[in-house]
Amino acid sequence: MPEPYWPKRKNSYTLGDAERMPGRLVRIRCRYCKREHFYELGDLRVVLGNIEVDDVVYAMKCSGCGKDRTLDVELVSVSAGDRQKTTVRRLVAIRYLRRPVWRDE
């Protein structure tokens, strides 16, 4: 019996929950510029923390047009064969900026 992707109760399904089911990717699509990217759940969890899947759209901006609040997020199930053909945007590194803040006293 396959489980539903989206539980009935909102705010109850985290990236970590979704990650437990193998073969899932997150598709994030911009309604404005129509760009879409696929992400690994684990990569998003590292960057955003274990937030609810619904909240991913509030934590990201479109990498194409730079707008926020234009993104749609969807969990998709991909077979191993389709995974080979899908370009997935993987996390390469997280850079921390060191920025001094000054105050005159």
Between 16 and 64, CB nearer to Zn ion: 64
- Nearest-approach distance from CB 33 to Zn ion, in angstroms: 3
| Cα gap 78→60, rounded to integer Å | 23
Q: Which residue has the tokens 């684990």?
A: 42
- What is the distance between the terminal CA atoms of the chain, rounded to a whole angstrom? 67
| Cα gap 55→13, rounded to integer Å | 10
Q: How far is CA 97 from CA 21, 47, 94, in A?
A: 34, 15, 10
Which residues contribute to the site for Zn ion (CB under 5 A)?
A: 30, 32-33, 62, 64-65
- Nearest-approach distance from CB 63 to Zn ion, in angstroms: 8
Between 65 and 88, CB nearer to Zn ion: 65
Between 18 and 73, CB nearer to Zn ion: 73
Between 18 and 30, CB nearer to Zn ion: 30
- Nearest-approach distance from CB 35 to Zn ion, in angstroms: 5
Q: Which residue has the tokens 């926020």?
A: 68
- Nearest-approach distance from CB 52 to Zn ion, in angstroms: 22
